[in-house]
């Protein structure tokens, strides 16, 4: 098994980001600031918010989180939109009331929408960007490959499919209602899974030399797990992201790339 380790790549990008932030602070008087809006108390979400705060500290970006109701969140987003010292705003999904997702993510100004979830987003979404970085870092050429994306969510599946189709790649998107999922996965050279369903992808669903990116996160017995079953990782003929340190570290890195872009765009020349 070849491990597609995002943590190694992330460390190189992180060093570059730290230099960029220092330059913004010292040369331009811009102090990059990220605000996180959270409406759900969930162990997976709490972990990701904590990781973002730690990452921000390490590259000198201020990260402040707010745990609010949806009504309070809407008021806070409008307040943060008007605050020129805030360069990025994240609405951490899922919300406690998922029916209000569009309302809240679309309330974020496009230039501050560093997760690129709003309909008017102008930045690239973080997880698809991270997956692109990961595959490029390991020289996985997507041209002439059959690609399947399992899961059509707004964080990973849908924006990644759009990005790759725009690049001319052969992409099939599957969700829980798709027929012949096992057969379609088996026919694919590159499998990206982001369904949030533990043990969804098993070894017998993958062809030889498949490249597998497990971008899912779910909570199982207090552990954060992906979609890939343990028997997949016993294979020695495939390339796959590790249980920890795959897409996750690069997603956080990509998100902060957007915060830095937004901060740089705000500087007064």
The domain segmentation of the chain, as residue ranges, is: 27-109, 126-248
Q: How many of the other CB atoms lie within 10 Å of CB of 144?
A: 8
Q: How many of the other CB atoms lie within 10 Å of CB of 143?
A: 8
**β-bridge partners, 225:** 218
Q: How many of the other CB atoms lie within 10 Å of CB of 82?
A: 9
Matching fold, domains 27-109 and 126-248: yes
Does 3.60.20.40 match the CATH number of domain 126-248? no
Contact 79, 112 (CB under 8 A): no
| Alpha helices (H) along 82-180 | 101-105, 126-137, 157-166
- The one-digit pLDDT tens for each residue of the chain (269 residues) are 689 999 889 999 999 999 999 999 999 999 999 999 999 998 888 988 998 999 999 999 999 999 999 999 999 999 999 999 999 999 998 899 999 999 999 999 999 999 999 999 999 899 999 999 999 999 999 998 999 999 998 889 999 999 999 999 999 999 988 999 999 999 999 999 999 888 999 999 999 999 999 998 765 666 667 899 999 999 999 999 998 888 988 999 999 999 999 999 987 54
pTM of the model: 0.84
Catalytic residues: 52, 92, 115
**How far is Cα 149 from Cα 158, in angstroms, rounded to an integer?**
9
- Looking at the domain 27-109, which fold is it? Rossmann fold (3.40.50)
Phi, psi (rounded to 5 degrees) for 210: -65, 150
């Amino acid at each position: 098994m070849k491990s597609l380790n995002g943590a190694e790549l992330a460390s190189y990008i992180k060093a570059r980001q730290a230099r960029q932030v220092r330059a913004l602070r010292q040369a331009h008087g811009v102090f990059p600031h990220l605000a996180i809006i959270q409406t759900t108390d969930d162990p997976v979400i709490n972990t990701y918010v904590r990781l973002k705060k730690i990452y921000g500290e390490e590259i000198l970006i201020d990260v402040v989180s707010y745990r609010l109701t949806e009504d309070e969140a809407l008021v806070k987003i409008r307040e943060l939109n008007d605050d020129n010292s805030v360069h990025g705003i994240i609405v951490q999904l899922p919300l406690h009331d998922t029916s209000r997702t569009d309302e809240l993510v679309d309330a974020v100004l496009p230039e501050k929408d560093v997760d690129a979830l709003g309909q008017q987003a102008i930045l690239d979404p973080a997880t698809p960007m991270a997956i692109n970085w990961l595959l490029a870092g390991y020289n996985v050429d997507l041209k002439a490959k059959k690609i399947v994306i399992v899961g059509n969510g707004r964080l990973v599946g849908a924006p990644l499919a759009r990005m790759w189709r725009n690049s001319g790649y052969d992409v099939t998107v599957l969700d829980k209602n798709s027929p012949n999922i096992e057969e379609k996965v088996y026919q694919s050279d590159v499998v990206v899974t982001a369904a949030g369903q533990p043990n969804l992808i098993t070894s017998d669903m993958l062809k030889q030399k498949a490249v597998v990116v497990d971008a899912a996160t779910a909570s199982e017995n207090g552990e954060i797990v992906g979609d890939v079953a343990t028997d997949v990782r016993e294979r020695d003929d495939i390339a796959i992201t590790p249980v920890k340190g795959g897409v996750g570290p690069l997603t956080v890195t990509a998100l902060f790339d957007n915060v830095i872009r937004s901060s740089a765009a705000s500087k007064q020349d």
